[in-house]
Structure 1
Amino acid sequence: LSGGIENTSSWKDSFYNPRTGEVLGRTASSWALILLFYLVFYCFLAGMFALTMWVLLLTLDDYVPRYRDRVPNPGLVIRPNSLDITFNKSDALKYSQYVQHLESFLQSKKYNDSQQERNEECTEGEYFLQDDSGDMRKKACRFKRASLSVCSGLSDTNFGYHEGKPCVLLKMNRVKPIIGLKPIGNPYINCTVKKENPIPMQYFPSEGKIDKMYFPYYGKKAHENYMQPLVAVKLLLSKEDYNKELPVECRVEGSDLRNNDERDKFLGRVTFRVKVVE
């Protein structure tokens, strides 16, 4: 019995010893000293971290990133935002989602004329180079929605979907991270359909041209009003093409921008499917 009492007492003393005043084997002064040590130690670490971050931030530029080699080439995306465009040309409810998406995209993404009027009327075929001295904010070249012609949604509010000849809009989606990009050559969009008989297409602007005046890009903060140029492609499908799933591939051609990397199917190109039901 006495042994049991001693064991219980010993177990309790390991947490608090009333004879010495120790808690978990340490006196109050010992606990105060060790807590003070860790407080000073972690304050020192936090101060070193804050100092390091402060020095690092001093080396950064608000307008130009220090390293700009993360995304070497732009990709290509389409609007409407779907890689499988299937609709019945005789049923407005079947293609209304695509029409509404295109109209919303052209209105909400600052491509409408009221927004673009604030931008500069640039010289076609020439890079829009701007001096880095003085005000770091850069001007943007004007993109005219009317340059998309029948695919602009201005003259044909259905973007050709009601007649089975749909329009798609293409843009380079990685231009913005690539500050200073100046493609060598004359970039343009070219689309092909993987079938025996080629399908005629119309490009707007003509020949699917991506004008040099939209390059280079100076960064999100400096180039606040910049918007990527668009190229519209109208697929001139015939009755023979209806009720068939047609794979379409569009590439950026005519420049040093890469479009044949098998590891990245969206680098300089995009593939989508179109099926029109009669």
Structure 2
Amino acid sequence: MEKPTLKQRVGSFGKFIYNSETKNVLGRSGRSWAEIGIFYVIYYACLAGFFAATLAVFNQTLDSDNPKLQGSDSLLKGNPGMGFKPMPDIETTLIHSTKEGKDDYVKSIKKLLDEYEKAFNEGKGKDCKGQTTLSKDGDEACAVDFTELTAECNEANAYGILEGNPCVLLKLNKIYGWSPELYSDSEINALDNVPDSIKNDYVKEKKIWIDCHGENAADNDNLAKAKVTYSPQQGFPLGFYPYKKQKDYLSPLVFVKFTGLAKHLAYMIECKAVAKNIAVDRTEKEGSVHFELLID
């Protein structure tokens, strides 16, 4: 049997596209195309209607002012984590303090601080300095004093890089409706993992204290030869809590400055938040943050 020629194959395909004898297009008559067209119009209209109805019902279960899942039901399980800057490379927690890497270091911190500087210059938020109580419903959001925050660590000194004294910016994750619970005097003194420097002032200065230390004994020994300072204070003021979508709300920040670190020596650092209802879990990265410091 002879194979069809190219002309025959082209002709056969053209006839499939439109058959002048039967008036069929792609093997279907006009009536067949109309029936299948009407079927799919109705089919997809029903799907669209069902989807719209589902969204409408789901929307009725949402509150525009409050998240549906809160506390232990939320993704954060009511236990805030902590973040840090700079993080020029998201694949590593190493903060490599070099003059060559200054631009990336500064850019990482400045990207977060730009919003705070703008809000401060526009006078947004109220002054909560000295407030030792939680905010009440309806209270205006507390303002972050940008001048005070950047007094020691700022863009002019490249956040400590130019001096060889790197600054690390800490921030506690926002959880809607979450409020810190403070330890009593007897409770804080009974804890073995809180330094005496915090225990002595914990009750007098009511806030979420921050403690940065070496992750192991060797790191603590090395860090003891240096100096760790916090600005504007060693913790997060209570006036910023609870977060309830207040207008112009910005989370409080703390700069930790490491002065006198030895060069070419890697430090493994852990910073943790001290509060009764903040569970510290290194594995789950809850209540604390880990990073390495290397000065060249």
Range class of TM-score, shorter chain: 0.7 to 0.9
Q: Which residue of 2 aligns with 1:46?
A: 48
**Are positions 1:202 and 2:229 aligned together?**
yes
Kept in 2, the 8 Å contact 1:168–1:232? The answer is: yes
For residues 271 and 80 of structure 1, the distance between their equivalents in structure 2, rounded to whole angstroms, comes to 12
Q: Which residue of 1 aligns with 2:146?
A: 145
Question: Residues 85 and 14 (structure 1 numbering): CA distance in 2 closer, same or farther, change over 3 Å?
Answer: closer
Kept in 1, the 8 Å contact 2:120–2:145? The answer is: no
**Are positions 1:109 and 2:115 aligned together?**
yes
Given candidates 67, 72, 75, the residue that maps to 1:70 is 75
- Root-mean-square deviation (CA, aligned residues, Å) is 3.5
For residues 19 and 146 of structure 2, the distance between their equivalents in structure 1, rounded to whole angstroms, comes to 84
Deviations 1:69-88 (A, max 9, x none): 12223222222224322235
For residues 109 and 14 of structure 1, the distance between their equivalents in structure 2, rounded to whole angstroms, comes to 64
Deviations 1:114-140 (A, max 9, x none): 436321123612111224xxxxxx731
Query: What secondary structure, in the 3-state scheme, does the structure 2 residue paired with 1:259 have?
Result: coil
Deviations 1:39-61 (A, max 9, x none): 22221221222222223223322
Aligned pairs for 1:54-93 within 5 A: 54-68=56-70, 69-72=74-77, 73-82=79-88, 83-88=93-98, 92-93=99-100
Given candidates 259, 262, 265, the residue that maps to 1:244 is 265
Q: Which residue of 1 aligns with 2:169?
A: 169
The one-letter amino acid of 1:110's match is Y
- Runs of 4+ displaced beyond 4 Å: 11-27
Task: Report how many residues are paired.
Answer: 250
**Are positions 1:269 and 2:288 aligned together?**
yes
**Are positions 1:179 and 2:185 aligned together?**
no
Question: Residues 170 and 32 (structure 1 numbering): CA distance in 2 closer, same or farther, change over 3 Å?
Answer: same
Q: Which residue of 1 aligns with 2:248?
A: 225
State the Cα distance separating 1:230 from its structure 2 match: 0.8
Kept in 2, the 8 Å contact 1:183–1:255? The answer is: yes
Question: Residues 31 and 181 (structure 1 numbering): CA distance in 2 closer, same or farther, change over 3 Å?
Answer: same
For residues 216 and 258 of structure 1, the distance between their equivalents in structure 2, rounded to whole angstroms, comes to 18
TM-score, length of structure 1 as denominator length? 0.73
Aligned pairs for 1:1-12 within 5 A: none
Gaps of 5+ in 1: 132-137
